[in-house]
Amino acid sequence: MENKEQGFVTIEGKRVPIQGEKNLLELIRKAGFNIVTFCYHPELAVYGACRLCLVEIEGMGILASCTVTPKDGMKVRVNSDEIRKLRRINLELLLSSGNHDCTLCSKSNNCKLQKLAKDMDVTEIRFKSKKLDSHKDATSAALVRDHSKCILCGNCVRICNEVQGIGAIDFAFRGFKSKIATAFNKELGESHECVSCGQCARVCPTGALMPNSSEIEEVFKAINDPKKKVAVHIAPAVRVGLGEIFGLPAGEPIDGKIATALRMLGFDYVYDTAFAADLTIVEEATEFLERFKKGTNLPQLTSCCPAWVNYVEKFAPEFIPNLSTARSPMQMMGPILKADFEDKGGKREDLVVVAVMPCSAKKTEAKRGEFYVDGNPDTDYVVTTVGLARMIKEAGIDFVNLENEWFDMPFGTKTGAGVIFGASGGVMEAALRYAVAELDPENARSVKFSSLRESKVFKEKTVVIGDTKIRCAVVSGLKNARKLLDDIKAGKNDYDFIEVMSCQGGCVAGAGQPQFEGWALRKTRAEGLYKEDTELAYKSQDNSGVQALYGRILDKVGGPVAHKLLHTHYKSKKYQD
């Protein structure tokens, strides 16, 4: 609603009301001038470094609009000759330093620097290029850094500090030697602080920081190897993210098209990670109910987010006993598929399991030593949502016009509880659906979970069944999680069960998803999952495939076989002097 007291700013002759915009740039964008910037990000603090939002304000001169508070009566020019000239010079200066060879860059078509150069039709750079650090750091399984494409906007540094509360990277050195570096300029793979969440890559406007896509080549090789069978499974968030890359409406679940495309790519078995999510719920909620009855190791902390697990091991190992020992859906799917393959007479190493994930940290999770059996990993390769799009494009598949097919059985069955895993609050809701049904079978659907579905980084829900109260919290973003842990230590709260996702908004906002800014798209993607949920069975224990699996291979919920295949352990990785 318009607040008359805030007044108006005149932008290129147009009167624009101030409605609580924090800075002039936001007001300019509201007025319809979509100025492309690099260092301004709506989720981060204002930095004012890229100098592309320069404007001329009458009586004030030329200023970076992101750093100016809009005031009544301001007269602003955004396209004066002077501003056009300066913006072009600033862009040319950015282009002159570093390697901006677009045709050879994975970020091409999705790069702000490229977009702006095209919009402004920059065809020559008047400044002499200075050869910069051409070192490419691919030591991390999760992320690749290419310093030669970095424009030092600092978005990565700010999100790592402000949102994740880690500070694994920062500006280092000076002048032409300035770079974004880890502590002591180590390779990212050797950084003690990095938890591989990849949010830095999500906010990088160029190709300087991207999820590691080296595994795609291996996946194609496995598909083309006649000796191997290749199984693929897609995480919940993938179905509400992938379509955006092909111009399909955001948040529309496209399971059917994805299943078709995966078969066309040559995968032998096409499954749904949501199956394993149901399995995770069965094990994790059972584990919770046991702990809850005994009152031990509470609050139970979820463990399906690999960056969060990395965080606990590195920065808060005192909470390891609280982590659920249930594996993440991805790491349940791998051993189940391989056990089933062996059960049917195959050899473990002849089945290659590929996981399509919205995440960069999942790549590091698959490589954890605990998840190998005699040198063979439970999950062979992890491809991101964007990586899958690349595979589909490379294979020339006309994705938009594909017919819907369905996942293979039995590991393609799922319930809505498994699908909502992709949104912050979804894992908790799924676990509570299970727990409520166990504790009070007659009123299994009586509890509503609307508070857990809000677009918030911190959510609470207390479930009351008779005189039993289960106090739950959902938190996303690691800095918020840190605060919650500190409060637990200080005795400021007494939750029984806490869901943590490293990325604000959950997996729908993971680093492997198509790049985006702001909360609106997070919400749209999550709504897609909740929509799919309404078309499926309500709770994980109703997944017929999961039930059959217990009968055939796993035996008892929480029993010895289930423990071997579906649970894991953690150890402190805190830095030691």
Partner 1 sequence: MTDKFAPVDKILKEHDCNPAQLIPILQQVQDLYRYLPEDVMRHIADKLEIPPARVFGVATFFAHFAITPKGKHIIRVCNGTACHVKGSSFVINTVKDKLKLKDGQDTTADGLFTLECVSCLGACGLAPVMVIDDVVHGQITPAQAVKLIDEIAAAEAKNA
CA distances from 54 to 28, 31, 104, 151, 271 (A): 11, 16, 31, 17, 50
The pair phi, psi for residue 233, each rounded to 5°, is -140, 145
Neighbours of 556 (CB within 10 A): 11
- Segment interacting with partner 1, rule: CB under 8 A, options 106-114, 178-186, 301-309, 327-335: 178-186
Could you tell me the two tokens for 153?
């906007």
Q: Would you count residue 159 as binding partner 1 (CB under 8 A)? A: no
Binding mask 404-443 for partner 1 (x = CB under 8 A): ----------------------------------------
| 157/554 with CB nearer partner 1 | 157
- What is the C-alpha separation between 568 and 562, in angstroms, rounded? 11
Could you say which of 184, 227, 403, 534 contacts partner 1 (CB under 8 A)?
Answer: 184
Of residues 166 and 472, the one with the C-beta less far from partner 1: 166
The span of 108-116, 167-175, 200-208, 258-266 binding partner 1 (CB under 8 A) equals 167-175
Piece in contact with partner 1 (CB under 8 A), picked from 12-20, 67-75, 184-192, 453-461? 184-192
* Residue 569 engages partner 1 in binding (rule: CB under 8 A): no
> By C-beta, is 181 or 507 nearer to partner 1?
181
Rule CB under 8 A: say whether 559 interacts with partner 1.
no
- Minimum distance, C-beta of residue 195 to partner 1, in the bound complex (Å): 13
Considering beta carbons, is residue 170 or 218 the nearer one to partner 1? 170
3-class state of residue 534 by DSSP: helix
Is position 172 an interface residue for partner 1 (rule: CB under 8 A)? yes
Burial 205-237 (b: 16+ CB within 10 A, else e): bbbbbbbbbebbeebbebbeeeeebbbbbbbbb
Count of residues touching partner 1 (by CB under 8 A): 19
Closest approach of Cβ 174 to partner 1, in Å?
5
In whole angstroms, give the CA distance from residue 167 to residue 157.
7
From candidates 53, 111, 168, 332, binder to partner 1 by CB under 8 A: 168
Tokens for 502, please give them.
């490293």
* Phi/psi at 363 (5° precision): -65, -35
CB of 512 to partner 1, least distance (A): 24
x-or-dash string of contact with partner 1, 342-381, rule CB under 8 A: ----------------------------------------
Determine if 174 is a binding residue for partner 1 (CB under 8 A).
yes
| Alpha helices for 183-305 (secondary structure H) | 199-202, 215-223, 242-245, 255-265, 273-294
According to DSSP, the residues that pair with 372 across neighbouring strands are 377
Within 8 A by CB and 6+ apart from 541, the residues are: 282, 434, 437, 438, 547
Contact 304, 428 (CB under 8 A): no
Among all residues, which ones are annotated catalytic?
284, 287, 304, 324, 362, 365, 370, 507
Q: What angle do CA 365, 279, 557 make, to 5 degrees?
A: 115
Identify which of residues 75 and 192 has a Cβ nearer to partner 1 in the complex: 192
Say whether residue 490 binds partner 1 (CB under 8 A).
no
List the beta bridge partners of residue 501: 476
Under the criterion CB under 8 A, does residue 42 sit at the interface with partner 1? no
The residues that touch partner 1, with contacts defined as CB under 8 A, are: 161, 166-174, 181-185, 192-193, 575, 577
